[in-house]
Amino acid sequence: MQHIVNKTIASLAPLISVGEKRLSILIFHRVLASYDFMRPGEITAKEFDDKMALIARYFNPLSLNDAVTKLKQGTLPQRAICVTFDDGYRDNADIAYPILKKHNIPATFYVATGFLDGGRMWNDTVIEAIRIYPKQSINLTEIDLGDYELNSDSQREVAAQKIIKQIKHLPQHERTEKVDAIASMVSKLPNDLMMDSTQIQTLSQQGVHIGGHTVTHPILSALTSEQAEQEISAGKAALENIIQQPVTEFAYPNGKPGQDYLPEHVDIVKKLGFKTAVSTQWGVSNRRSDLYQLNRFTPWDKTDGKFLSRLVLNFKII
């Protein structure tokens, strides 16, 4: 393995040691204790540990604040990289943080405050309900979501993803109605998927940056300006109340520019006193990048060689 890693670095190093300094910002959501058939795409603790070891060894991990300052000053080191987490999952505190600490990698956790202390995001309600639904098939035709065989782990996983896909872009009230209907078909859903306030407080005291991510994780472009501002500012205020410090970093929910958020939301984020904001637009940032729309990307490759290649090649994208 080491041989492959060294070869990858050696072959790709020329690409990143010349030209303008660029910043790569990674997005993660969850780090699972072990493989979960309902979430086959999510990284496990072991995989995350391996990837962070590679980052610590071959890249220069910085906090986002630090990186942005250096980017503007023109003092960014080669292969600068930031690690960010979205949404506020409990495993960020229980599993990801100890690994980040072990490798001395700073991070920003963007937290949607409406799910703290026992809440659950709607997509997780669907996943967890389909996981535990007691029958071997589920009929959701009454709420226009079709019917599904649930005879195997993989059928359950596929069914949950198909349902999520159909309701993802519905207006919020319609989505809530359908998710509530699905939730009512099972008896007990987990209420410990997200962090609690004390965990946020402790992480902040330990040096993790806590960033805003709204209250209920809406698609901002689907809201009125007033609603969007309320979501962003209430989330900021709730976090500041928990950590007793200014919250100056923000991540747009879903994060596709022109689709999930619009220029008016960038203005709101500026007006509310945030210093940086991140999107999910793929790519890296350079000196001319808009600090309120910094690009990010998801390092989804499972093998270390591919992961490294992708990280390095990401520096090539403007």
Query: Which positions touch Zn ion (CB under 5 A)?
Result: 86-87
Residue 195 contacts residue 92 (beta carbons within 8 Å): yes
| Closer residue to Zn ion, CB minimum distance, 111 or 311 | 111
Q: How far apart are CB 255 and Zn ion at their closest, in Å?
A: 7
Please state, in angstroms and rounded to a whole number, the distance separating the CA atoms of residues 147 and 269: 41
Q: How far apart are CB 307 and Zn ion at their closest, in Å?
A: 22
Residue 130 contacts residue 138 (beta carbons within 8 Å): yes
Structure tokens at 267: 């203005």
Distance of alpha carbon 167 from its chain centroid, rounded? 20
Residue 253 contacts residue 269 (beta carbons within 8 Å): no
| Closer residue to Zn ion, CB minimum distance, 60 or 221 | 221
Q: How far apart are CB 87 and Zn ion at their closest, in Å?
A: 4
Please state, in angstroms and rounded to a whole number, the distance separating the CA atoms of residues 281 and 259: 11
For 23, other C-beta atoms within 10 Å of its C-beta total 25
Q: How far apart are CB 72 and Zn ion at their closest, in Å?
A: 26
| Closer residue to Zn ion, CB minimum distance, 24 or 214 | 214
| Closer residue to Zn ion, CB minimum distance, 138 or 200 | 200
Q: How far apart are CB 188 and Zn ion at their closest, in Å?
A: 25
Helix axes 2-16, 45-58, angle to 10 degrees: 50
When CB distances to Zn ion are compared, the closest residue is 86
Residue 314 contacts residue 300 (beta carbons within 8 Å): no
Q: How far apart are CB 98 and Zn ion at their closest, in Å?
A: 22
Beta bridge partners of 294: 278
